[in-house]
A and B are shown apart, each in its own frame.
Chain A
Amino acid sequence: MALSISLRHLTKVFSKGKESFKAVDDINLDVQAGELVTILGPSGCGKTTTLRIIAGFESPTDGRVIIGGQDVTDQEANARDIGFIFQNYALFPHMNVFGNIAYGLKVRRIPSAEIGEKVTEVLDLVGLKGVEKRFPNQLSGGEQQRVALARVFVINPRVLLMDEPLANLDAKLRIYMLAEIRRLQKQLGATCIYVTHDQKEALAIADRIVVLNRGRVEQKGVPFELYANPESIFVADFIGQANIFRGRVEVVGEGQMDVSFYGHRLTVRCKQGGCFKRGEEVGLAVRPDSVKLGKPEESMLAGTVLSRIFVGDKMEYEIEADPGFLVHVFESLSREPWAYPEGTKVGITVDPRDVLALPL
């Protein structure tokens, strides 16, 4: 049976001498039973600390951790029935693969005949066979990763916590293991919190994403929602990429508003939370692939191509707009990517429907 996880006002302050640092700042989160939630954020945002508090490796300065309706804040890690996957796997170097996987079973006093069966079974599940006698340093990175997964899956934990489990694997293996982890998690039905700094990983694996910045929750939502409707400049730029322009609110209407932008008026949607006030400065976020290039005289703004990089599926342009700021534009292969060499005068146009107004 999977269990739900709730964090209530979770706060962690690290202090060293007179300096103190709020690594986790009043985090609230509810994870449904069986759900896979990704905590996403740049390094130092408090995501690993949050995970270690849920595991019981750290105790919070303030706030509660509730697993399956039960407050476990004061319980030790070994009483919480969790499985933790470490970034460096933390395989016991003095035990072979069998010893590593059997560890949790021995702690639970499972009879040794049954242990043997379960170890073989779980190795089969993660796609490793006949490596029981080998030691961790005799395995490749991918194999170590699978042993780490097997070691946790074999005790069938109700909560699965993963701290950047794929960070040490190469790109191709990472994509494969991502799918594997998702398959195994669903198969076991465990509730899973997965910490990563890689937005692509988060978008691919998560049922829901929580974006963390400087110890606080920036935004929560399903992956597409976060990509399509970021609520802050930070989220807009961290998930995908975004051009941020400055604009001023001129007219506020019903569910939409007019924003002035270098002599143009754009009518943009208001966020669900409500509109801005008249006269307020706002950030206008536009994805690079929503910006259209064209002839200067037919466009909103004119500019000069500073550089272009062909990355295979698209051309990435860097353009200096005439008012004096940089614009990133991605031209897909279907749209004449080679049309604008460096130094060319081009025009830039954005469709107001692709523009999001965000607080600066």
Chain B
Amino acid sequence: MPLTVSGQINPNRRAKLDPALLPLLILLWGSMGVFVLYPLARLLYMVFVVDGAGSLANLAKAFSSWYNRKALVDSLILAASVATSGTFLGFLFAFCVTRVSLPRAIKWFLGAVVVLPFVSPPFTSSIALTLALGPNGLLLKLLHVPGFNIYGFLGTWIAETLTYFPVAFLTLAAVLGAIDPNLEDAAMSMGGSRWRTFRTITLPLSIPGLANAYLLLFGSSLTDFATPLVMAGHTFPVLPTQAYLQITGMYDLQGGSAISFVLLVPALLVYLLQRYWVERRSWVTVTGRGGAHAAARGAGFTAEALMLAVISVLTLFIIFLYSIILWGSLVKVWGVDNSLTLKNYAYVFTVGLKAVKDTVLIAITSTLIGSVVAVSIGYLVSRKEVPWRKTLEFVSLLDYVLPGTVVGIAYVIAFNTGPIVLTGTMSIIVALCVFRYDAAGIRATVASLRQIDPSLEEASLSLGASRKTTFFRVTLPLLMPAAIAGMRYLFVVSMTAISATIFLVSVKWSLLTVRILECVTELLFAEAAAFSVVLVIIVFAAIGVISLLFRMAYPETSRQLRRR
């Protein structure tokens, strides 16, 4: 059952902005001016203004180095490879879960395995791959290939594919799930074989979804900072890590900014393609009544057997890697002394305790502020006549679209010097999390408001309720699922983020992900693994708590959601 039932929805109908909301609007614009536009302006100034005049000298200088040019090419090659393999695997998983008749338990299990990379810190697959295939690697010893080198393109590619294919899976599972099963039945009834039906109906209808997944993965890989830092090594430089090393290693803020700026161009291009080209080309429309009972149709025995074989191997591999992390966190020295110990966890809760506390505090604060910001922006842009509405929406999503490295560097430039100095404070990290990761909440809010007919609010007004009462009694409860989704996302990414926040940590405020990175660079893999396990547990616990609070606050809405 849908949450709301209505005939004609006109999402473009907007009410006049009442004066009571004006302070909120000013506050939002003000904070976005300071935390979104101002840092980017400072970044652009840093890159393009030399001695008070516009100049391309910084860009030219950065790319006069062959190493940086190689980093650009490598970044693009890596992104294309990860997007291809990730989309392929994501489609296989999505197809098996939505179209092949498998026992319920197995489908649930596949779904659970796929979720793991989402809630894990960004280094998890890299650490696990290193423990398995790196020096002293478990698999290498088993297979007797001592000379194998995982670092470079291969390792980065495998690790990023494992990290990002779930994104493709979720995108494609939604697309495949929305294809009217009657279409496949129709093709079958006209004599088409299962394989032909798959080839001529299911696959073509998934193409917009495939393109979307490909672009999402391309963008994610292009801007990924954590994986290449661990896996890529010196032979395979990529832009995000180059920008970071330029700044932290050579203290060259200008050069780092210039490199990160180059990253910005393809990232924006991918975003624009995805937003304005692919999304317009979707065949999938959710029709009122689909097939009576959507039965699994599959793709024919041979194709299905092949697909299942591939995803079984992949699933086992993922489970293997996660077991390695767990096991690795419990041994003394990986590959040298494999006796069990809890000393790594003791390390996490003594030496690392401050990072744990800081991270949780920052994540909670960001989640609370960010979800309020997200619902406010989403509500204002979709329901009110706001001056500069499109601009407001664009600016609110800007930091999310831009590579984390770019945003992090912009923050460093903006808040190290000048009128507002925030370096070393907690607020700078929270501000970044709020304005970079509120995007999911904004999108969810806008999407659910598109499903909620404005006449519901008009009905409440006509029954004599004030605008305030209407918002709190009608609109907000309907928006809760979106707010919860936004909160969950905010918390998870605030806990696991690194690409932008790494520029902002200080002695006073540290983050778990940064501690993990430090352990990895000092080759303390067991401690890194223990940190990762603790982080995953915290994230799962927090997701549980958020869902529970939601269920207690809105028992009716949550029951309806579960029924769907």
Contact partners of A56 in chain B: CB under 8 A: 188-189
A88 with B182, Cβ < 8 A, contacts A76-B188, A93-B283 known: yes
Complex CA gap A107/B197 in Å reads 10
> In the complex, A86→B201 CA distance in Å?
16
Does B304 make an interface contact (CB < 8 A)?
no
When distances are taken between beta carbons in the complex, the residues of chain A under 8 Å from B185 are: 52, 55, 57, 77, 84, 86, 90
A88 touches B205 (CB 8 A): no
A84 contact set on B, CB distance < 8 A = 185-186, 189
Shortest Cβ-Cβ A-B pairs, 9 listed: A104-B190, A90-B182, A77-B188, A84-B189, A90-B186, A107-B191, A93-B283, A86-B182, A48-B292
Residues of chain A within 8 A of B295, CB atoms compared: 57-58
Specify which of A57, A94, A151, A152 is in contact with B188 (CB 8 Å cutoff). Answer: A57
B contacts, CB < 8 Å to A: 180, 182-183, 185-194, 196, 200-201, 204-205, 283, 285, 287-293, 295
**Which of A48, A57, A88, A108 is B191 in contact with, Cβ under 8 Å?**
A108
Are A90 and B191 in contact, CB atoms less than 8 angstroms apart? no
Q: A103-B200, A107-B196 are in contact. Are A92 and B188 (CB under 8 A)?
A: no
Report the minimal beta-carbon distance from B293 to chain A, rounded to whole angstroms. 7
Q: Is the CB of B186 within 8 A of A86?
A: yes
Contact assessment for A82 and B189 in the assembled complex, using a CB-CB cutoff below 8 Å: yes
B192's partner among A14, A90, A107 (CB-CB below 8 A) is: A107
Q: Could you list 22 A-B pairs, sorted by A, with CB under 8 Å?
A: A52-B185, A55-B185, A55-B189, A56-B188, A57-B189, A57-B291, A76-B188, A77-B189, A78-B191, A78-B194, A81-B191, A83-B190, A84-B186, A90-B180, A94-B205, A94-B283, A103-B187, A103-B200, A107-B191, A107-B196, A108-B191, A151-B190
A78 touches B193 (CB 8 A): yes
Complexed CA–CA distance, A57 and B188 (Å): 9
Query: What residues on A are CB-neighbors of B287 within 8 Å?
Result: 88
Q: Is A94 within 8 A of B292, CB to CB?
A: no
Q: What residues of A have a CB within 8 angstroms of the CB of B180 in the complex?
A: 88, 90
Residue A155 interfacial (CB < 8 Å): yes
Given contacts A93-B183, A93-B285, 12 further A-B contacts (CB under 8 A): A14-B293, A52-B292, A55-B185, A77-B189, A79-B191, A82-B189, A88-B287, A92-B187, A104-B191, A107-B191, A151-B190, A155-B190
The distance from the CB of A184 to the nearest CB of chain B, in whole angstroms, is 17
Across the interface, B289 reaches (CB within 8 A) one of A80, A88, A93, namely A88
Shortest CB-to-CB span from A21 to chain B, Å, is 11
A interface residues, Cβ below 8 angstroms from B? 14, 48-49, 52, 55-58, 76-84, 86-88, 90, 92-94, 103-104, 107-108, 151-152, 155
Find out whether the CB atom of A90 lies under 8 angstroms from the CB atom of B183.
yes
CA distance A107 to B291 in the complex (A): 23
Chain A residues near B186 (CB, 8 Å)?
84, 86, 90, 92, 151
Which residues of the other chain, B, contact A48 by a CB distance below 8 angstroms?
A: 292
State in angstroms the CA–CA spacing of A157 and B291 once bound together. 22
Residue of A nearest to B290 (CB): A88
Q: How far is the CA of A82 from the CA of B186 in the complex (A)?
A: 10
A155 touches B182 (CB 8 A): no
> Which residue on chain A has the smallest CB distance to residue B292?
A48
Report yes or no: A78 in contact with B183, Cβ–Cβ below 8 A: no
**Pairwise interchain contact A87-B191, C-beta atoms closer than 8 A:** no
Shortest distance from the beta carbon of A106 to any chain B beta carbon, whole Å: 9
How many angstroms from the CA of A82 to the CA of B193 in the assembled complex?
14
Compute how far the CA of A162 lies from the CA of B478 in the bound complex, rounded to whole angstroms. 39
Contact of B201 among A57, A78, A92, A151 (CB under 8 A): A92
Interfacial chain A residues near B192, Cβ < 8 Å = 78, 103, 107
| B214–chain A nearest beta-carbon distance, Å | 18
Residues on A with C-beta less than 8 A from B182 are 86, 88, 90
Residues in B with CB closer than 8 Å to A86 are 182, 185-186
Write the chain B residue with the least CB distance to A47.
B292
Least CB distance from B208 to A in Å reads 10
A87 / chain B contacts, CB cutoff of 8 Å: 289
Which of B188, B201, B283 lies at the interface centre, i.e. has the most chain A CB atoms within 10 A of its CB? B188
Chain A, Cβ-Cβ closest to B193: A78
Tell me which residues across on chain A come within 8 A of B190, comparing CB atoms.
78, 83, 103-104, 107, 151-152, 155
- Complex Cα–Cα for A122 and B252 (A): 73
Residues of B within 8 A of A49 (CB): 292-293
By a CB distance below 8 angstroms, the chain B residues around A94 are 204-205, 283
A93-B205 contact, Cβ under 8 Å, with A107-B191, A108-B191, A155-B191 = yes
Closest to B205 in A: A94
A76 contacts which chain B residues (CB < 8 A)?
Answer: 188, 194
| Residues in A whose Cβ lies below 8 Å from that of B193 | 78
